[in-house]
Amino acid sequence: MLLYFIRGLFFTIILAVLFLAIDNAQETGVLNQPKLLTGYFLAMILAIVVIVIDWLTPKKHLSSLTSIFFGLLVGMLISSAITPVISTVNDLYNIGMNEQALGTTRWIVSICICYLTISIVMRTKDDVRFVIPYVEFSRQTKGVRPLVLDSSVIVDGRIFELAQTKVFDAPFIVPRFILNELQLLSDSPDKLKRTRGRRGLDMIAQLQSEPVVEINIDDTPPPGIEFHAPVDQKLVAFTKNCDGRLVTTDYNLGKVAMVRQVDVVNINDIAKAIKPVVLPGEPLKVRIIKKGEERKQGIGYLEDGTMVVVEETSDMIGETVPAIVTSSLQTSAGRMIFAKFEPAEHAADQSRGKPAQKS
C-alpha cells in the first residue's frame, strides 16, 4: 500500500512541476516555443514510462522505512552528478533550451532518479548489505515479529486453541504457497491427504473468524527461490525475508530453519514445556492396536494421541489392558510412554465380569 502511495505522490509532483513551469512560461511569453512544448511533453512521457516500468517489475512489501530514506539519499547523489550533464549536452549539441526549460528538465530527471532508486532499494534491500558492507535493513530487535504458519501446524489444530488463550501477541501469516499446498491436498485422490487438506482449510477459516486472532494471507513470493522449489525451502526463505518466526510441528523443518538462522516455534516444544508430569508407577489403561518393534511389545494411544508402548501385550491386539507406567519420553517429534502389563489386574477385571474390550 505504501508503494502505491509513493507512485501517486511521484505522479502528482511531476504534474505540479509541469504546471508551475507552464504557468511561468505563460508569464514570460515563451510558452509558444515548439521546443519548450516538446520538452514538457517528453517530460510527461518520461514520468509515465517510469511508472509503467516500475509497475511491471516484481513487487515486494515494504518492511522498513530505512530503505526509502537510503534510496532517496542515493537518488539525490546521482542526480547531483547527472543534472549538470544536461546543460553540457544542451550547449554541446545546440538543442536550444533556455534556462527555464533546463531547470524544469533537471527537476524532472532528479525526481525520476530518486523515484527509481527508492523503488530499487525497496525491492533489493536484502542484497544491499553485500554491495555496501555494514548496511542492513532487516530488523534486529527482539520485539513482536510475525508468526509464519507451516501447513503441519495448521493441520495439527492446536495453534487455534493457543491463539484463543491470547498467548501470542504477534500476527499470523499464511504464505500463499502454503494455502495452495492445502488446496492441493484437499483435492487429492488419497483419502488421508484429502482429510488433512480440508482440515487445514477449515482451521484457517476458524482463525480468520476468531476476533482475537490477526491472520493474513501473504502473496509475496520468497526472494531468490524458484516457483517450483520445495515448499519447505520456500517457507524458510519467506520467513527469513519477513523477519518472522516459523511455527511448525515438523522437527526436520525446524532444524533446517535453525541452520538458516530462522527462529522456530515448535508446538511440540510448547506441549513439552506444559505437559503434565507422568510419574513411574502410575496406573493406566490403554487399548492395544498393533505390535511394537521389539518382541512382545504392544502399542496403543491415549485420547490425546500419546503413544504408549506396553510390554508383553503383542498378542492382545484389540484389547484394553491395565498397565503401570515405567518411564516417559518427550521430544520435539512427540511424546511416548513406556509401561508394563499388569496381568493380575487384567485377571481381576475378567473375574469381575469386565472382559477386555475388543475391536
pLDDT digits (tens, 9 = 90+) for 206-215: 988 888 888 8
Mean pLDDT of 41-46: 73
Lowest mean pLDDT among 85-99, 156-170, 217-231, 318-332: 85-99
CA dihedral 186, 192, 195, 197 (to 10 degrees): -40
Above pLDDT 90, what percent of the chain?
9
| Ramachandran sector of residue 224 (left: φ over 0; alpha: ψ -120 to 50; beta: rest) | left
Give the residue with greater pLDDT, 144 vs 294. Answer: 294
Count of other CB atoms within 10 angstroms of residue 255: 12
Mean pLDDT of 29-44: 63
For residue 169, is pLDDT > 80? Answer: yes
Count of other CB atoms within 10 angstroms of residue 46: 16
pLDDT tens digits, 97-154:
777 777 888 888 888 888 888 888 776 655 554 445 445 444 444 457 889 999 889 9
Which triple of cell numbers denotes residue 136? 542492513
The pLDDT score that the predictor gives to residue 139 is 45
320 neighbors 285 (Cβ within 8 angstroms):
yes
Give the residue with greater pLDDT, 108 vs 57. Answer: 108
Which one, of 220, 79, 16, 80, lies nearest residue 8 by Cα?
16
Q: Say how far apart CA 4 and CA 10 lie, in whole Å.
A: 10
Q: Report the Cα 248 to chain-centroid distance in Å.
A: 12
pLDDT tens digits, 260-273:
888 999 988 888 77
The pLDDT score that the predictor gives to residue 188 is 87
297 neighbors 314 (Cβ within 8 angstroms):
yes
Strands (E), the chain: 147-149, 172-175, 215-218, 245-248, 264-266, 283-291, 297-301, 307-311, 320-331, 334-341
The pLDDT score that the predictor gives to residue 140 is 45
Give the residue with greater pLDDT, 280 vs 61. Answer: 280
The pLDDT score that the predictor gives to residue 126 is 54
* Sequence-distant (≥ 6) Cβ neighbours of residue 161 within 8 angstroms: none
Whether the pTM exceeds 0.95: the reply is no
Which triple of cell numbers denotes residue 271? 506441549
Q: Angle 279-353-309 (CA atoms, 0-180°, nearest 5)?
A: 30
- The C-alpha cell 476458524 sits at 206
pLDDT band per the 50, 70, 90 thresholds, residue 299: very high
Q: Which residues pair with 323 in a beta bridge?
A: 284, 341
Q: Say how far apart CA 206 and CA 172 lie, in whole Å.
A: 13
Mean pLDDT of 40-46: 72
pLDDT band per the 50, 70, 90 thresholds, residue 59: very low
Domains of the chain from N-terminus onward = 1-125 (no CATH), 147-273 (3.40.50.1010), 282-345 (2.40.50.140)
Which triple of cell numbers denotes residue 176? 500463499
Strands 245-248 and 147-149, bridge-based pairing:
parallel
Which one, of 66, 263, 278, 31, lies nearest residue 146 by Cα?
263
For residue 231, is pLDDT > 50? Answer: yes
pLDDT tens digits, 282-292:
888 889 999 88
Q: Which residues pair with 284 in a beta bridge?
A: 323
For residue 203, is pLDDT > 80? Answer: yes
What are the angstrom distances between the C-alpha of 344 and each of 24, 122, 164, 347?
A: 105, 72, 45, 5
The pLDDT score that the predictor gives to residue 162 is 87
The pLDDT score that the predictor gives to residue 75 is 84
Question: In this structure, which amino acid lies at residue 174?
Answer: V
Three-state DSSP class for residue 328: strand
What are the angstrom distances between the C-alpha of 56 and each of 9, 50, 53, 128, 224?
A: 18, 10, 5, 22, 18
Q: Say how far apart CA 182 and CA 194 lie, in whole Å.
A: 9
